[in-house]
Chain A
């Protein structure tokens, strides 16, 4: 079964702790993306990567970090610098970057920081 997996589905952390969200794809897609979704709102781009070992900041990158050491993996770290980290995080991938192709999404991770 090809697709995107995100783990865990629910994540709870104490304020001040860094936390890493996992995203893995076996679709052989070049591009991967991280979005944040707050209740009743659309998707906001955090980071994206069009190729291995390269990534760019999206619209709300402050307080987040990523790595892309392998084509199939794009983990997101929510650092303690992120002022309001509680949200629903979605990972996506597409065949290539450039925005030409549709994105395929994982099931999401719901992060709660107290």
Chain B
């Protein structure tokens, strides 16, 4: 069974940093693209970014709203995905989901990030 478990959320001040992690199990993590998607309270879904697999050079893509501030990385030896979030803004407040695959087939339960003073 595919499992994706996010962690690392919490309260951070504007301008601060936070690192989220996603622990994956139940599938061959190294073979999959992995994404982050977020959802602000009471709002819709917003794609954040992607990590491609080793075969595609671990390259990344980002939404314009986070480019230059967020960095997605992965550790295939630990079946884990990360997003380092810097220069956080109040509008980054959201539940962050870890999502598997090119076609977004499996989602974690999410971790809440609150950016507030």
**Do A and B come together as binding partners?**
no
B residues contacting A by CB (< 8 A) are: none
A residues contacting B by CB (< 8 A) are: none
